[in-house]
Copies of this chain bind each other. A is one copy, B any other.
Amino acid sequence: MSYEALFYPKSIAIIGASRNIKTVGNDVIKNLVTQGYTGNLFPVNPKADILYGKKVYPTVQEIPERIDLAIIAIPAQFVPDALVQANEKGATAAIVISAGFKEAGNADLENQVAQVCQERNITLIGPNCLGIINPEIKMNASFAGVMPIEGSVAFVSQSGALCTAVLDYALDLHVGFSKFISTGNKAVIDELALLKYFAQDEKTKVIALYVEQLENAPELISAVKELSLGEHAKPVVILKSGTTQEGSSAIASHTGSLAGGDTAYEALFAQAGVIRAHTIGELFDYVQVFSKNKLVPVENITIVTNAGGPGVLTTDAVINSGLHLAKLEESTIHKLQEFLPKAANTHNPIDVLGDAVGETYQKTLDILVQDANTDAILVLLTPQSMTEIRKTAHAVVHSHYYGNKPVLASFMGQETVHPGMKIMQEAGVTTTTFPEAAAKALGVFSKFQKYSVREKSEVLKFDDVDKQKVADIFAQAKQNGKTSFPEAEALEILQAYKFPMLKSKQAKSAAEAETIAKNIVAELGSETTFAMKIVSQDILHKSDVGGVMLNVTAKEIKEKSQELMARVARNAPNAKLDGVLVMQMAPKNGVEVILGVSKAPGLGTMVMVGLGGIYVEVLKDVSFGYVPITKNDANRMVTSLKSAKIFEGVRGAKPSDIDMLVESIGRLAQLVLDFPEISELDINPLLVLPKEEGVRVLDARVLLESHVS
């Protein structure tokens, strides 16, 4: 891909440059000419001579030099030809601003565009987009009027119109961009491709995306995990819309794309380590804190305030964000006491009192940046009579520059504090209008930093599985047009993937049942009771015909199995009976969980884990992970359950064998990766026994996709 030609072109053709102001074709050439781009510009338009001082060419062919990048803003049907012509003039990158493709029902035309780009290896942004901006070279190749400041944030938006608002918010907060991209319909270049580019791009330190729909969860997960690892980890912040059904259908009418449910995206973001912003405001808070501060460990926060109430509110917000108030060093407290008034609070949150002037803040901050127990500082100010807003702002800036730890500020109010906020924003201090948002952003910062230093975790893979056996079972099933595998057959499939089972065997006679029971007792080396279930192709609901008996001892089993057979024969006289399944009774000291498989269209296959039982069903306490699944992924799935504490052992119970639960998740992931034709699979329940006693599959069911040939 020619990202160099896209982001750093030496010459650009603007195909569809227009004389008519307030049109897209005019805005683009105007922005390129007037906002500082220094490369060659070749406007193309058969009806113009000169535009913004640049000679206009009637056709692409007539451009006298080689071009790197083509920006296309002509009616949709002419776009494929324009791409060919531009490519013949050397362009290896293109931006198609024109609308009228998939979003207008013209998917064929869009496919045609994609095909031209594929054949000719053209790096294409769009169609139906606002364009791109590279502030580093002052290239505004978009119809947004504003040149943002240069910085370290790569912003990517699926909504072009949102970009104009984002540019305006960003200017206000002095957030700078490395690259600014409106992706439009993503015919060629999508978020995944851009993430891979930003991984290499030295100018980019933070990646922020607005998306309505994504594809290929496994690759996205892998790309984001890679980005977010190590000392130079780059956080990926995503604002995803269409989280509700109504939101999703609004998208459908908007970009013609089908959004997945929010569960699928929640799982994707959690597994990848994406920082999810839930509002535009949060997006900016997170982008600020990551782009304006060095990624250092942050756990203990010190608050400085000239007002008690806001100090308390912010303390709450700090704690609720998963952070702690720093316990200041004794020496810090002494130094503060030396100059602060007696009524001041020299313990965290530090209240310098309402009459604090700029110098009070300055001295306090000078001491706090030296405090070894303080990882980050949050400075609050309310505008009181003695308050020196500008001087205090400069004190914050000073500690931000030289303090070597994140310093965030919220000067509370609007007009009155505005000059101070401006001073801090322009100097690169993270600011928020209300202090709670700063605390929340610090919490996210801390969490990401911890994530960035994690151990890399490998995909769970087991060599002891019998893949061939399952392949044979499925092959035979397909021959017979069979897609459903209830209990016994499902257990056979799982057994091939070495899921631990209860011991069981089918008996054809009462005598055989007794032998099986005795053998199981011998194998286990301990007593057990048994469940017996009738085996018959003709009986759907075993219990209804008296075909199930529980808690039978080995001694009773011969007699009881005769009783069972006779009872079923009476109740279902026409059924052909094949014998009884003799199965060890399940231990009583386990926690029941459910494992399952769910397919997220366009994104991938998810494995689900949830706690069993009626309460959890009501509370929908489940978590998901996309295959393939690493050990970390599986652990996260388990520990992120709301009721995960149950595995630690409550009411005197022993802790559960989580290792074997994690292994089971891995085995299930491997099974569905090996056999994508599995459309549904439930292991319900999987019994998780106490530590070192493993797990047992008690029941399961498997369904294949019927259309797989």
Residues on A close to B: CB < 8 A?
A: 22, 27, 99, 104, 143-146, 157-162, 164-165, 167-169, 171-172, 210, 212, 239, 241-247, 250-251, 253-255, 278-281, 306-313, 315-320, 324-325, 343, 345, 347, 349, 351, 354-355, 382-386, 412-417, 433-437, 611, 613-619, 621, 642-643, 645-646, 650-651
Contact = CB atoms under 8 A, between A and B. Distances in A.
Which interface residue of A280, A310, A619 has the most chain B CB atoms within 10 A? A280
Nearest to A254: B308
Contact of A168 (B145, B254, B308, B414): B414
A325 B146 CA distance: 33
A433 B414 CA distance: 13
Contacts of A144: 384
Given A145-B385, A281-B437, A619-B619, 20 more contacts: A99-B343, A159-B307, A159-B310, A161-B307, A161-B384, A162-B310, A165-B413, A168-B413, A168-B416, A169-B413, A210-B309, A241-B315, A254-B309, A254-B345, A254-B351, A279-B437, A615-B615, A617-B651, A618-B643, A618-B645
Given A244-B319, A309-B241, A316-B241, A385 B27 contact: yes
A386 B643 CA distance: 53
A307 B165 contact: yes
A412 B250 contact: no
Contact of A417 (B168, B239, B242, B312): B168
Nearest to A342: B104
Contact of A412 (B145, B169, B324, B383): B169
A157 B417 CA distance: 20
Given A354-B161, A433-B281, A618 B168 contact: no
A382 B615 contact: no
Contact of A243 (B99, B316, B412): B316
Contacts of A242: 312, 316
B313 A239 contact: yes
B383 A168 contact: yes
Contacts of A383: 164-165, 168
Q: How many copies does the complex hold?
A: 2
Contacts of A614: 646, 650-651
A708 B251 CA distance: 65
Nearest to A143: B385
A310 B165 contact: yes
Contacts of A325: 246
A217 to B, nearest CB: 20
Contact of A309 (B162, B306, B320, B415): B162
B646 A161 contact: no
A336 to B, nearest CB: 14
Contact of A611 (B167, B278, B310, B615): B615
A641 B470 CA distance: 45
A412 B168 contact: yes
A513 to B, nearest CB: 29
Given A382-B162, A433-B281, A312 B414 contact: no
Contact of A436 (B165, B280, B613): B280
Contacts of A343: 99, 104
Nearest to A386: B22
Contacts of A158: 309
B414 A171 contact: yes
Contacts of A146: 416
Contacts of A212: 309, 312
A415 B311 contact: no
A311 B619 contact: no
A164 B325 CA distance: 25
Contacts of A171: 414-415
Contacts of A243: 316, 320
A416 B169 CA distance: 9
B165 A254 contact: no
A412 B244 contact: no
Which interface residue of A247, A307, A613 has the most chain B CB atoms within 10 A? A247
A144 B351 CA distance: 19
Nearest to A381: B165
A434 B164 contact: no
A617 B650 contact: yes
A624 B309 CA distance: 27
A31 to B, nearest CB: 10
30 contacts: A157-B309, A161-B310, A161-B354, A164-B382, A165-B310, A165-B413, A168-B383, A168-B417, A171-B414, A241-B312, A242-B316, A244-B316, A244-B319, A246-B315, A246-B325, A247-B316, A250-B312, A250-B315, A250-B349, A254-B351, A255-B308, A279-B434, A280-B313, A280-B412, A615-B646, A617-B651, A618-B643, A618-B646, A619-B621, A619-B642
B250 A311 contact: yes
